[in-house]
A and B are shown apart, each in its own frame.
Chain A
Amino acid sequence: MNPHRRSPWVIAAATFVYFFLYAPIVVLILYSFNASRANVKFEGFISSFSDRVEMDGSYVVASPCGPFHWYCDLSKNDDVMEAAGNTLTIAVTATLAATTIGTMAALALQRYDFKIKPFSQLSLYIPIVIPEIVMGIGILTLFSQAFGWLNEALNLVGDARLALGIGTVTVSHIAFMVPFVTLVVQARLQGFDKSYEEAAMDLGANEWTTFWRVTFPMILPGVLSGALLAFTLSLDDFVITFFTNGPGSTTLPIYVYGLLRRIITPQVNALSTVWILTVFIAVMLLQWLQSREQKPAHS
């Protein structure tokens, strides 16, 4: 029986599902070129270039950037730039921290037996089986109660007051990213051949040298996969960030959400399209890393 034979029903169903998945995104990207500022109906592409933006009511007749008018508009939007900066800062910091402690934890869980092991494992499973919002408001409660108490006890005022901001968001991101990093690195450690390490030790290397010269290079692709996964999770996160952010620490998803509840111009679509493209490139990077991982590891 030909394993590649497929019934027309399956092909039809698959096509429908792909269509379902992509139609909204295509429409979204299309509307980022909408000449109508109200962005309710698609009124056509902006066809003329001009030195200044010319409008006819809510219809953009001509623009310095032509059809890419809304993308230029986006680049002048300071709030978006700030949100993008925050998003990246938080993601990079949180990824570095989560990858470090997550890899350490994976090594511990995979290779050692220690007293708090069951507790560690349980803590790592919990974020996966509870809805994100439960964790989000728990952390919010913790911060608001702790900060309230500390601010009073230490008599902090003004700028010195503890409050929600980039710090709280970063710290929370690390918390929900760590289980994923640990899971990925643990999976990588499972097929690990210890004989390389033993050989190194036989040749006189101590544990520290063995780890950095033998073990770490071999698990590096797995660690990088975990890091990239964590990074994308942080960039994308909405719920946890929603409950732990404060003024000045808005991230892109929060910003877009705020826009959706107020005014919607094609600028939102332009932002979305740029976002989609950026993530597309990141996924390509992930694919490239994975293809490198398949090459045999040479010590």
Chain B
Amino acid sequence: MLQRLRENKSMQGTLLALPTTLWLFVLLIIPLFLTLVVSFGQRSPDGDVIYSFGLHNYIRLFGYSTDCANGQASCFDPLYVNILSRSLSLAFNTTVIVIMMAYPLAYFIARSNPNRRNMFLFMVLIPLWTNFVIRVYAWMMLLRKEGAINIILGWLASGFNVIFAPLAGWFPEMAGVFHINFVPLELLYTPGAVLVGMVYEFLPFMILPIYTSLEKIDNSLYEAAADLGANAFRTFLRVTLPLSMPGVVAGTILVFIPVMGTFIVSDILGGRQVILVGNLIQRQFLDARDPTFGSAASLILMVMTLIVTYFYTRKFGFGEEIIAA
């Protein structure tokens, strides 16, 4: 039998790949199908699943509600649609801001002295390898009313008051202009806090792919552009930017998809005010104990993510060469 195995290359391949494929089949494929099946079911009184077929969970997700204010039989409750659209717009905003911040840094590292590059990259890696939860906590400390940001703003206000105190004395009627009554800002538990948290979490994931694609640009291309008379700006626009697009694309995929699903950032930095799809799913499974509704929400999340990714990669490519690097 061993002899037959030796000769049958296809069999060898199957055997080698079998453990992994089986593992993923049981722990990825089957769960996804199970989620689909459960999403059609009904919630039992003790939080378990009654297997049946019905689209009620999906209908509820998209706004159909029987719990209406003025005694109507049915009405439109935009609660869940709002959650979905809020997640989409947050993911989009985060990605845009991350690109705007990551690109200059990646550009800086790619054009820096080759001896120093590893050190600069290392400095980007360290926050990345710090635990996710810890990074969110760090921002919580900064954004609190008594946190570092408010402290610094308080100092600036005091400084302003001190500098302009004489003017306030000379022009008492305009004293209000020269004196800032600083009240600590409520930065935490706002949508802004969640946005900052998301940007902070995923910034390194954009820096690295953009850097990789920028670094691959051959120096001779820059020389050719200079020879043909292009200034720095034109060179950037016509040479650097287009050639760095695979990196931007890969980075977008590495940022957009996770932001859609993250619940911990909005949980800790947004408090009860900011609810995203991830929070919705988490609460359905843990607090509300309605796995059928949670499964439906989870599938909608997955489908939305796949749709956006599909159209995006169709237009801009997949950036595989960057992911592999």
Contacts and interface: CB of A to CB of B under 8 A. Distances in A.
Nearest to A232: B129
Contact of B309 (A111, A129, A139, A175): A129
Interface stretch (B139-147, B159-167, B186-194, B241-249): B139-147
A135 interface: yes
A124 B23 CA distance: 11
A17 B132 contact: no
B203 A17 contact: yes
A115 B219 contact: no
Interface stretch (A55-63, A69-77, A78-86, A271-279): A271-279
Contact of B301 (A108, A115, A133, A139): A133
B147 to A, nearest CB: 8
Interface string A127-141: 101111111011111
Interface residues of B, number: 95
Nearest to B278: A133
Contacts of A226: none
B257 interface: yes
Interface stretch (A23-31, A155-163, A217-225): A23-31
Given A137-B294, A279-B129, A23 B142 contact: yes
Interface residues of A, number: 91
B261 A133 contact: yes
B23 A187 contact: no
Given A104-B19, A120-B17, A178-B23, A6 B306 contact: no
A138 B200 contact: no
Nearest to A178: B20
Contacts of A263: none
Contact of B48 (A148, A172, A256, A261): A148
Interface of chain A, main secondary structure: helix
B198 interface: no
A275 B131 CA distance: 8
Nearest to B24: A123
A168 to B, nearest CB: 10
Task: Identify the interface centre among A21, A174, A239: most chain B CB within 10 Å of its CB.
Answer: A21
Interface stretch (B27-35, B72-80, B175-183): B27-35
A1 B107 CA distance: 16
Given A107-B16, A131-B301, A21 B124 contact: yes
Nearest to B197: A24
A139 B17 contact: no
Nearest to A276: B130
B281 interface: yes
Given A14-B104, A139-B31, A101 B126 contact: no
B30 A101 contact: no
B108 A116 contact: no
A10 B112 CA distance: 11
Contact of B137 (A129, A131, A268): A268
A274 B47 CA distance: 40
Given A17-B101, A131-B257, A141-B34, A243 B131 contact: no
Interface stretch (A45-53, A192-200, A280-288): A280-288
A207 interface: yes
Contacts of B130: 25, 275-276, 279
Nearest to B261: A131
A203 interface: no
A67 interface: no
Interface string B145-165: 010100100000000000000
Contact of A14 (B23, B108, B126, B262): B108
A116 B101 contact: no
A212 interface: no
A215 interface: no
Interface in B282-296: 282, 285, 291, 294-295
A9 B324 CA distance: 31
Given A107-B16, A144-B291, 20 more contacts: A1-B222, A3-B219, A6-B111, A23-B148, A24-B135, A25-B127, A27-B148, A31-B141, A40-B146, A41-B151, A101-B20, A105-B16, A114-B10, A132-B258, A133-B278, A137-B291, A141-B35, A148-B48, A175-B23, A257-B133
7 contacts: A13-B105, A137-B291, A179-B24, A256-B137, A261-B268, A272-B131, A283-B122
Interface of A: 1, 3-7, 9-11, 13-14, 17-18, 20-25, 27-28, 31, 40-41, 100-102, 104-105, 107-109, 111-117, 119-120, 123-124, 126-127, 129-135, 137-142, 144-145, 148, 171-172, 174-175, 178-179, 182-183, 187, 207, 232, 236, 238-239, 243, 252-253, 256-257, 260-261, 268, 272, 275-276, 279-280, 282-283, 287
